Amino acid sequence: MHETVTTLLDEVKALWMVTESLSSFTDWPDDLTAGNSAPNHALAAEKIMAWDMPETSPTSPVCRAVQQAALHVNWQFIYTEAEVGRHFLDNYAYFELIGPTGHFHSDQCSAFIGYWGPGLFYPAHHHASEELYFVLAGHALFESDGDDPATLGTTAHRFHASHQPHAMTTTNSAILTLVLWRGPELSGLSQLVRSDN
Ligand SMILES: [Fe+2]
């Protein structure tokens, strides 16, 4: 485990323990063990490292830790180029910090760090696990079936119920998020909502 990834875990824990929206969604896991995720590069890593983020937010220590760990984490891209296009895949990536296949293993919850560059539309998708988006930096428009749309910035959060379709649009800023999952299907993947079903 690269030391910057361990530092990131420590900073996420520190934020989680003092942030009501995170700690009331799910307790900090008490079953963490080191996983064996290998580094996997993404163009998004360089964009995150080059991002001049505010330094005075409660989320700043986590943002800095993400920047420092960006070349040492297992970036992933659930979707294919056929589904979301090349531009999307060049400006988005996420990694599983905590979870069944994360840098730190847990069966109690998952915690992902996700990045979307400016001017992206993340189409409606859903998954079995309940989800909490927490904004670490930047802002985006969140839309979900049955809820009012909202533009959310740093420290704001949004809940998605099991299989509730949700979409996200970035405008003039990128967004960096901490995404928590809870529920019985932590290993389940996100699926795009298709117009033909
Ligand atoms: Fe989601």
The 10s digit of each residue's pLDDT in 111-120 is: 999 999 999 9
β-partners of residue 113 are: 95, 178
**Cα separation values, 20 from 58, 138, 162, Å:** 13, 20, 21
| Percent of the chain residues topping a pLDDT of 90 | 87
**What pLDDT shows up at residue 79?**
87
Is residue 141 classed as helix, strand or coil in its secondary structure?
A: strand
76 vs 193: which has the higher pLDDT: 76
pLDDT digits (tens, 9 = 90+) for 75-107: 999 888 998 999 999 999 999 999 999 999 999
Q: What is the largest CA-CA distance in the chain?
A: 46
Whole-number Å distance between alpha carbons of 4 and 73: 9
Distance 127 CA to ligand 1 centre (A): 7
Distance 100 CA to ligand 1 centre (A): 17
Q: How is residue 71 written in tokens?
A: 């070349």
DSSP 180: E
For ligand 1, an ion, list residues with CB under 5 A: 131
| Percent of the chain residues topping a pLDDT of 70 | 98
Whole-number Å distance between alpha carbons of 187 and 190: 10
